Structure 1
Amino acid sequence: MSAEVLAIGATQVPYFRNKAFSNLMLDCQHKLLDLVNAETGSKVLFFASSGTGVMEACVDNFIQKSDKALVINTGGFGQRFVDICQRKNLDVHDAKYTVNEVINYNDFKQLEFDALFVNACETTTGRKLDIEQSGKLCKHKGALHIVDAISAFLSDPIDMQLHNIDALIISSNKGLALPPGLGIVILSPKAIRNVKQSPSLYFDFKESLKNMQRGQTPFTPPVSIILQLQYQLTQLTQIGISNLIAQRADLVNYFREKICHLPLKNYVNDLSNSVTALSPLAQNADYLVEYFERKFNLILTPSAGDLSKKVFRVAHLGHVDKAHFDVLIEALNEFYQERLS
């Protein structure tokens, strides 16, 4: 996080049930809609929640017992959509793929479904999914296109109109470079028309939409994070979304080119700008994670379950530049020079 964002988080929390905070919320809504090229009439809902909370909220508000859900499942967060649906005893088609298995969206044209759930970036592996193709499929089927962009937002191109996205899920603690605790969903007019009666009191989109008409939330929001959000969105809007994506891609390519000579392999073929998942060719990944924290005070993102020994991840999110990555690149070179010499 930037020094400016940290400073805002250290200020006194203001009262929020007033016109000043309502105007701030509406300003955040306006800027978010602009960043993702949302259709006129789209709305933004804010929750004191993790990203997973908003993933579950989208299931609750768009899928009922009589509906059918399709999940494109390429890893842990695709599986999370499946788990949410199954926990609620909903009719879900789990389209499960191995890490680099090709997805042919034409295979689903004969399938009946009311909503498709997909991760723009499968965070566990860093795989970038083709949301343009899933959007075309949903348009063909008349289904809702619900996209988890928690990792991909501000790293990979996301255009709600171009990609036919009806519900875009993001959170504060990834591309926005804010503390965790704010879950956000951006709804298209089509999504708003198709909101069902939610079984959840807290994640009731109908009630939240009603409150956002005046720039408020039904329940207490994470006020400090929303103050930080307004600052961050102001900065991002001034830079422009195309410039943001280009800057992130340049940073990512810089890192990947600088380590290409090392005995590390990209775990996936379709690479996102948000994270690089790397498989060490000689050591267990969990050993590198532990060693780099102990020796260099560098946190490599570990993987869970079956991937813990195969993959570690390097995030490209937040307030970082090439100088930050030079520290990691130097440490990786030192680590391998000691072992390959």
Structure 2
Amino acid sequence: MDTNTIDFIAQDLTRKYIALRAANRRSPPSTSSGSSSSSSSSGPSTNDLARSLQRMLQVLPRTAALSLQPQNLAEQKQFLNQLQTVNWEVAKYENRILLDKALDVIPITRLYEEAESNLHLHPDDLLDDVLIKRLLAWFKRDFFTWVNEPPCDYCKGKTMRIGMSGPTSEERRFGAGNVELYMCTVCSRQTRFPRYNDPGKLLETRRGRCGEWANCFTLCCRAIGAEARYVLDTTDHVWTEVYSEHKGRWIHCDSCEEAYDQPLLYSAGWGKKPSYCIALSAEEAVDVTRRYTQNWAQVLARRNKVSEDVLAQLLRRFRQEKQAALPSERVQELRRRAEIEERELEEASRRTAVSDAEMRGRQSGRDLDLFVIGH
């Protein structure tokens, strides 16, 4: 990768993240008590962000495997840009103001009571595991709404998409990078559908497609004390993983589908062909693609955006940056888990069994496009 490519990515990310504070998991950033948006936090300087990204990408030019043809450079830049964007964005799930705001809307007492009363129905789970299942059910059935075409803001009639628009200053304040425009089929007035990135705002709007669902649900998981990771599937979906202390592994959780521990749902049930599934949190960056496929050899043949060595080095650098300020005991625990997870992923790449739940088709509405945090 040449210097111009690295500079392009650095400049683009710097522009996007001037206002972002990379919150430390153990010490959330202090923000004004009168603000409900993470976007109001003061962020690192432009130069700091540029230098950070340059350090993360310094491994790339040294890797001989990354000798891509010129026609692939644009796709490579887009892929690396996307990974870096999400890598920065997941820090907001540690923002204390956002976590408190989520707790204000989550019926935590009710969910605990439901988990306790249903515990006998889940012999393989402990209370915390069943609590996540109840959170999934509440989020899907009572809280969030799927949007294909939003209802008319004026008469609640049906709408049809007519184009896109740039965000207003108020919409941009909550991370909306683009806005979909719809026309009412009844009154002919226009309705705006901002694609918000701020999970605090999504706690208010309570609607969207898979990007908004995964964004807001991951925040809710963190708010109730669960360790959660945001999973980016570069084809057309995003979801959450939650760590189970009892099971000693990361559990697939898709709030759109109310799916718990059904990782083959997409490849077996939906017929998707994943290439890159990357799990990111304030502490970790892991390639978990093997968890979500039955045929790793076929997936490897499709993975041509960047070499495997370069991707591994980049994710390793992400982890080093994230864990640099953590207590040594926590770092050791994360490394222990990583070794276990690597063995699990290796075994997952060879499995053949698929559960009945993983064979069901898609329950949520259609995704018109992949909407990822930070874009």
TM-score tier, shorter chain, comes to under 0.3
Instruction: Name the TM-score, length of structure 1 as normaliser.
Output: 0.25
